C-alpha cells in the first residue's frame, strides 16, 4: 500500500495534459513491469497490462484516465504539482469492466 501512495503522489507531482502523457505512461509501464505484469501493445500514451490468468477465467479490466485538468486554487498538499506555472488536477477515475 505504501508504494501505491508513493505512485499516486508522484503522478500528482508530475501532471501532463491530454495527449501529452508520455512521462506518465512511461512511469505506469515501468511500474507494471516491476510488478511482473506483461505489457500489451497499444499506441502511446495508452498502457495496458495482462496479469497472467488461465484460459476460461473471467476478465477484470481496470481503466484510468492519465491526463489532468488545469486548476487554480490554494492547494497546500505535500504532493502538489512541481510545475508552479501549470498546477493541475489529476483525473484518476477508475472504471471496472467485467466480461
Which of 14-18, 29-33, 48-52, 72-76 has the largest mean confidence? 29-33
Strands (E), 2-73: 38-40, 48-50, 60-64, 68-70
Is pLDDT above 60 for 89? no
Task: Give the domain range for residue 19.
Answer: 2-98
Is pLDDT above 60 for 84? no
CB 21 within 8 A of CB 66: yes
Distance in angstroms (rounded) separating the CA atoms of residues 19 and 17: 6
Instruction: Please give the tally of structural domains in the chain.
Output: 1
CB 34 within 8 A of CB 74: no
Q: What is the pLDDT of residues 30-65, one digit of tens each?
A: 999 999 998 987 788 888 888 877 788 888 887 788
Q: What is the pLDDT of residues 1-12, one digit of tens each?
A: 899 889 988 888
Amino acid at each position: 500500500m505504501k508504494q501505491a501512495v508513493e505512485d499516486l503522489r508522484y503522478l500528482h507531482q508530475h501532471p501532463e495534459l491530454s495527449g501529452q502523457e508520455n512521462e506518465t505512461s512511461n512511469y505506469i509501464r515501468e511500474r507494471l513491469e516491476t510488478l511482473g505484469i506483461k505489457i500489451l501493445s497499444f499506441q502511446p500514451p495508452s498502457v495496458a497490462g495482462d496479469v497472467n490468468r488461465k484460459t476460461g477465467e473471467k476478465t477484470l479490466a481496470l481503466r484510468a484516465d492519465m491526463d489532468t485538468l488545469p486548476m487554480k486554487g490554494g492547494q497546500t498538499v505535500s504532493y502538489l504539482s512541481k510545475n508552479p506555472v501549470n498546477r493541475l488536477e489529476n483525473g484518476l477515475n477508475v472504471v471496472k469492466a467485467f466480461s
